[in-house]
Amino acid sequence: SIAAVVGSMDAHPSRYAATVRVQQHRQEIVHEMSSMVQELLIMFYKSTGGFKPHRIIMYRDGISEGQFIHVLQHELTAVREACIKLEAEYKPGITFIVVQKRHHTRLFCADKKEQSGKSGNIPAGTTVDLGITHPTEFDFYLCSHQGIQGTSRPSHYHVLWDDNHFGSDELQCLTYQLCHTYVRCTRSVSIPASAYYAHLVAFRARYHLVEKEHDSGEGS
């Protein structure tokens, strides 16, 4: 499998860089997370003229609830190691958020007048953090995209770690805003742009890897 990590290269954020690694099949934990994050931090440092991020906000995709603690322990430690390798006293605040799309929760408008367009879906930006969320953990549902066909599926966000002490409204607003920065679409998308870009990078890397193996097989 292919692991991809994408990071913003400016304060807006509008520019991104990516790094990839090849892993064992069905390996969910990114084992080389430390070196990958270190690469991105160095690129950020160079692109901003010598600045380092004061905060690191991670949107992690592709893991189930049973893997939360294991992935958090490994990857949070890896990110901290990457920061310390750059500078011993460099300890930015880290917020670790898991994004889930594969679930069976759907949201509907109680009042049909609030439905969006002909599809009858909930409006883009609808957020739910009460009632159907976990009673003690920090999680929320956000439908950041406008459903054009079929029933919209909101993304489920789990905030597993937050050194930056974001409030619920702050983090929900930030997440929704990041869903508007995906350059391939003129509308907001269903997950933050960085998570989308990581999917694209992993797919492209897998394509090149398969092509390379195919070409070498023909030549032998």
Q: How many domains does the chain have?
A: 1
86-111 pLDDT, tens per residue? 999 999 999 999 999 888 778 777 77
pLDDT score of 119: 67
Domain with residue 99: its CATH number is 3.30.420.10
pLDDT score of 149: 65
What band does 213 get if pLDDT is binned at 50, 70 and 90? low
Q: What is the pTM of this model?
A: 0.87
d(CA 208, CA 74): 28
49-62 pLDDT, tens per residue? 999 999 999 999 98
Taken as a whole, the chain contains a residue count of 220
Domain hosting residue 214, numbered range: 2-219
